[in-house]
Chain A
């Protein structure tokens, strides 16, 4: 290794050094591995600012709300008492992609974070289909500025308390304020349609005048009664309230919309944790190792990087006190590495399980996997028997009708598919969160709202249902009832408010 290519051998960072590292990492990422990224904006902040960033759910600006303050005081306390280290970085899905570095970190850590966040996460944000579909990176910062100003204006005009109560209710339903299936039409199109509808209505009104004098017909009224509103059940509760709640003021609808939009912005992140972290970890590992191979960094630098890296991807077994579920960094990183391995050095088993990628060029395969999957489908597609063995995964069935738990699958030939399926399902948002839909509104009666909870695997709702109904009632303005539907279609009333 020639020492003349070395960038430096200190562990103190400085801005010129950061820029130098960023240039080298960027060169390797773009030129050698062809990663496609947004431009980077890298900000150096203090630990206190990091706690700030934590408490506003990682967004660089946000409207004011007490819950962020609650988050702040509890984070601050655990951090000050040393119970919790802060994350090394926060990265924001925006264009340019904003990443925060903490000033306390040493130079190797800063380099790791730059590689991880500014090239790993960044390229994931730009490439993955969920992010491409549901978020617009170039508009999010502007939207947050708008939201913050708008909420502040409402507080001024209608009182902080009023706005706060509304936000409370909206936050409670944030996870149920997400469009899952279709991309909303762009605004210009919507305006176009609205204009067209207005034209249509106007023309219709001219004709209506002719029909107005005709005596109304009696028939068809029965049909009307049977008709539900909304005609199709609606699972996006916030959207439903924004558009249909009878008593909301225009500003309240706008605030519901703001919360809904921010929820939607986070929707892809909640579904791609394993992939996103795995991808970023894979790239900081690969990029920094490449730097080492090129002789740009010292052995000591690499040792520090590897030490943090190892901590990050550590997966304790289920029976240790540190076990806190499956570590998304560990699983994601292992899977990304495994895909590369399957491409480069396939075994017979791999050829049998993954005939389409075994022996292929690894980089396009990996990029395809990054771009076109979410956690659930990614695991269902790519979790290999080798990894199941390495992690010694096993599936446990917990049925409350049985006295004991049943081990349904372990890492053997019969178990691979079952484990893969069970693990994929564990990352399925649809089964993790209760499925609650707007079923009907009693439009001709007391305007009460009927919600239905469709039970999945007989799981009941948690004990927050009553509180939640109070929030929903605040938004809807009239009585709210919640029914539960089991697999056999049997309906029972759960709560009323």
Chain B
């Protein structure tokens, strides 16, 4: 007799451990592959996993096998024109006629690359491996407004919307059973008496029977009078507030959209911002992103406009910095929010504005912030802004700056900015 088992429900992902082992073992190769991939793919496509390739010879598992050469006789099917003693040329490519050691080319062998798909999580893990957010602090406030609501069993009073119906009705049944028990016991006794009387020959009109019947009726009324549900039965779901450390972050994206920033440069900036966004998402539960673009004046815009609309004109960087300062004061209390800013620019700035920017950042903004990253997208001589910022970078470790020359650089620069600092 056979025994059938439905295994579909349980024991899913039995190979998860093995998969993780595999990824761990080839981490260095995978990291290289992922770094290659990040420059190729559009970063906006962040929900998908990634197809990666690693050299097949790295993952091959060797076994002893025969090499080509020597003599071997093999049998094939489907002879059409051959006669015994015929001589034919070796088929091209397959030394040894592709015969004999057929089991050698199982998986990988013969192909130069071992290709497979990473899930999104695995992809991001590898992408941001070894990176960390500088000065990551989980802001915690005494008496802060940030609480987590957790279930805390049942209570006997509370808001009507929190009534637990099942629990309350269970209580009601128990109460009715308990309160009705003596009556029901008495009824059973009386009914037994009636039965005895009837068995002894008394008829229904007998006064003793009638009296007993009346008493039974009275008791039944009393049972029926027990309230179906009582306030005493009500149970309410109870919740308690647990204070929680804040792990909120806001990221300011600042971009120069003056005439000198062309589509290509904006694209580079966008790649950088998206990487940063992805990275922050992995570190914080909640991320706000504020997009600020500026030429001579700064404006808070939405994502679409930030990346795709075009402006012309000169550049005053401090306008954007002022706006950042205002927004922080208005909406993002630095004791509750982890504040990050990334600025992308081609380095052009109004000549006399650069010292203002330097002071603004060093004195007003950095004290409120966790990190400020500046990337300059310009394969040419640095200008005043770069040198002004360099002064800030020297005195404050929360400020970092890098230069991006081409698309290949974006990820490298990103890694450079967020490299794990030796403790």
Chain A residues whose C-beta falls within 8 Å of the C-beta of B75 in the assembled complex: 326, 393-396, 419, 422-423, 426
Does the CB pair B21–A118 fall under 8 Å?
no
User: In the complex, which of the residues B23, B78, B83, B100 has the most CB atoms of chain A within 10 Å of its own CB atom?
Assistant: B78
CA distance A392 to B74 in the complex (A): 14
Chain B residues whose C-beta falls within 8 Å of the C-beta of A410 in the assembled complex: 79, 82-84
Does the CB pair A319–B78 fall under 8 Å?
yes
Shortest distance from the beta carbon of A242 to any chain B beta carbon, whole Å: 18
Give the number of chain B interface residues (Cβ < 8 Å).
66
Whether a CB of chain B sits under 8 angstroms from the CB of A398 is yes
Whether a CB of chain A sits under 8 angstroms from the CB of B96 is yes
Does the CB pair A118–B2 fall under 8 Å?
yes
Does the CB pair B76–A406 fall under 8 Å?
no
Nearest A-chain residue to B17, judged by Cβ: A64
Does the CB pair B65–A433 fall under 8 Å?
yes
Q: Pick the interface stretch among A39-47, A181-189, A198-206.
A: A39-47
Within 8 A of B (CB), among A14-37: 15, 18-19, 22, 26
Does the CB pair B4–A65 fall under 8 Å?
no
Whether a CB of chain B sits under 8 angstroms from the CB of A159 is no
Does the CB pair B86–A461 fall under 8 Å?
no
| Choice from B7, B78, B84 contacting A409 with Cβ under 8 Å | B84
| Choice from A77, A323, A460, A464 contacting B69 with Cβ under 8 Å | A460
A175-B78 contact, Cβ under 8 Å, with A19-B4, A325-B102, A398-B73: no
Does the CB pair B61–A67 fall under 8 Å?
yes
CA distance A457 to B15 in the complex (A): 42
Whether a CB of chain A sits under 8 angstroms from the CB of B6 is yes
A395-B78 contact, Cβ under 8 Å, with A18-B4, A460-B69, A463-B67: no
Chain A residues whose C-beta falls within 8 Å of the C-beta of B99 in the assembled complex: 396, 398
A407-B18 contact, Cβ under 8 Å, with A398-B97, A399-B71, A423-B75: no
Shortest distance from the beta carbon of A247 to any chain B beta carbon, whole Å: 22
Chain B residues whose C-beta falls within 8 Å of the C-beta of A467 in the assembled complex: 62
Shortest distance from the beta carbon of B58 to any chain A beta carbon, whole Å: 11
Chain B residues whose C-beta falls within 8 Å of the C-beta of A317 in the assembled complex: 77-78, 80
Shortest distance from the beta carbon of A165 to any chain B beta carbon, whole Å: 10
Whether a CB of chain B sits under 8 angstroms from the CB of A74 is yes
Whether a CB of chain A sits under 8 angstroms from the CB of B160 is no
CA distance A467 to B62 in the complex (A): 7
Does the CB pair B79–A393 fall under 8 Å?
yes
Within 8 A of A (CB), among B368-404: none
Does the CB pair B6–A44 fall under 8 Å?
yes
Shortest distance from the beta carbon of A154 to any chain B beta carbon, whole Å: 15
Chain A residues whose C-beta falls within 8 Å of the C-beta of B89 in the assembled complex: 404-405
CA distance A412 to B87 in the complex (A): 18
Whether a CB of chain A sits under 8 angstroms from the CB of B70 is yes
Shortest distance from the beta carbon of A403 to any chain B beta carbon, whole Å: 8
CA distance A397 to B100 in the complex (A): 11
Whether a CB of chain B sits under 8 angstroms from the CB of A246 is no
User: In the complex, which of the residues B8, B80, B103 has the most CB atoms of chain A within 10 Å of its own CB atom?
Assistant: B8
Does the CB pair B14–A49 fall under 8 Å?
yes
Give the number of chain A interface residues (Cβ < 8 Å).
99
Does the CB pair A316–B78 fall under 8 Å?
yes
| Choice from A43, A66, A395, A399 contacting B21 with Cβ under 8 Å | A66
Nearest A-chain residue to B23, judged by Cβ: A69
A468-B63 contact, Cβ under 8 Å, with A43-B5, A51-B15, A459-B69: yes
Does the CB pair A73–B117 fall under 8 Å?
yes
Does the CB pair A326–B77 fall under 8 Å?
yes
A68-B79 contact, Cβ under 8 Å, with A459-B70, A461-B64: no
Chain B residues whose C-beta falls within 8 Å of the C-beta of A176 in the assembled complex: 64
Shortest distance from the beta carbon of B93 to any chain A beta carbon, whole Å: 13
A407-B15 contact, Cβ under 8 Å, with A394-B79, A426-B75, A462-B67: no
Does the CB pair A40–B115 fall under 8 Å?
no
CA distance A68 to B21 in the complex (A): 9
Shortest distance from the beta carbon of A70 to any chain B beta carbon, whole Å: 5
User: In the complex, which of the residues B17, B65, B73 has the most CB atoms of chain A within 10 Å of its own CB atom?
Assistant: B73
Does the CB pair B4–A397 fall under 8 Å?
no
Whether a CB of chain A sits under 8 angstroms from the CB of B104 is yes
Chain A residues whose C-beta falls within 8 Å of the C-beta of B12 in the assembled complex: 48-49
Chain B residues whose C-beta falls within 8 Å of the C-beta of A457 in the assembled complex: 70-72
Whether a CB of chain A sits under 8 angstroms from the CB of B3 is yes
Does the CB pair A398–B62 fall under 8 Å?
no
Shortest distance from the beta carbon of A495 to any chain B beta carbon, whole Å: 11
Chain B residues whose C-beta falls within 8 Å of the C-beta of A423 in the assembled complex: 75
Whether a CB of chain A sits under 8 angstroms from the CB of B20 is yes
| Choice from A44, A69, A72, A458 contacting B70 with Cβ under 8 Å | A458
Shortest distance from the beta carbon of A52 to any chain B beta carbon, whole Å: 5
User: In the complex, which of the residues A22, A74, A175, A465 has the most CB atoms of chain B within 10 Å of its own CB atom?
Assistant: A74
Shortest distance from the beta carbon of B398 to any chain A beta carbon, whole Å: 38
Whether a CB of chain A sits under 8 angstroms from the CB of B66 is yes
Chain B residues whose C-beta falls within 8 Å of the C-beta of A74 in the assembled complex: 107-108, 114-116
Whether a CB of chain A sits under 8 angstroms from the CB of B101 is yes
CA distance A408 to B82 in the complex (A): 10
CA distance A408 to B73 in the complex (A): 8
Does the CB pair A76–B84 fall under 8 Å?
no
CA distance A19 to B2 in the complex (A): 8
Query: B43-71 toward A: CB 8 Å interface, digit per residue (1/0)?
Result: 00000000000000001011111111111
Does the CB pair B7–A49 fall under 8 Å?
yes
Chain B residues whose C-beta falls within 8 Å of the C-beta of A446 in the assembled complex: none
Whether a CB of chain A sits under 8 angstroms from the CB of B1 is yes
| Choice from A18, A411, A426, A471 contacting B74 with Cβ under 8 Å | A426
Shortest distance from the beta carbon of B49 to any chain A beta carbon, whole Å: 11
Chain A residues whose C-beta falls within 8 Å of the C-beta of B23 in the assembled complex: 69
Chain B residues whose C-beta falls within 8 Å of the C-beta of A43 in the assembled complex: 4-7
Nearest B-chain residue to A71, judged by Cβ: B107
Shortest distance from the beta carbon of A64 to any chain B beta carbon, whole Å: 5
Shortest distance from the beta carbon of A413 to any chain B beta carbon, whole Å: 11
Query: A370-398 toward B: CB 8 Å interface, digit per residue (1/0)?
Result: 00000000000000000000011111111
Chain A residues whose C-beta falls within 8 Å of the C-beta of B73 in the assembled complex: 395-398, 408, 422, 425
Complex A-B: 14 CB contacts under 8 Å: A41-B2, A42-B2, A45-B7, A65-B18, A74-B116, A175-B63, A317-B77, A319-B78, A396-B73, A398-B90, A406-B85, A406-B87, A407-B82, A462-B101
Given contacts A396-B73, A436-B64, A462-B64, 6 further A-B contacts (CB under 8 A): A400-B71, A405-B87, A406-B85, A432-B103, A459-B70, A461-B67
**Interface residues, chain A, with chain B CB atoms under 8 Å away:** 15, 18-19, 22, 26, 39-46, 48-49, 51-52, 55-56, 64-74, 76-77, 80, 96, 100, 103, 114, 118, 160, 164, 168, 171-172, 174-176, 315-320, 323, 325-326, 391-400, 404-412, 414-415, 419, 422-423, 425-426, 432-434, 436, 455-465, 467-468, 471
4 A-B pairs with least C-beta separation: A317-B78, A69-B22, A459-B70, A69-B18
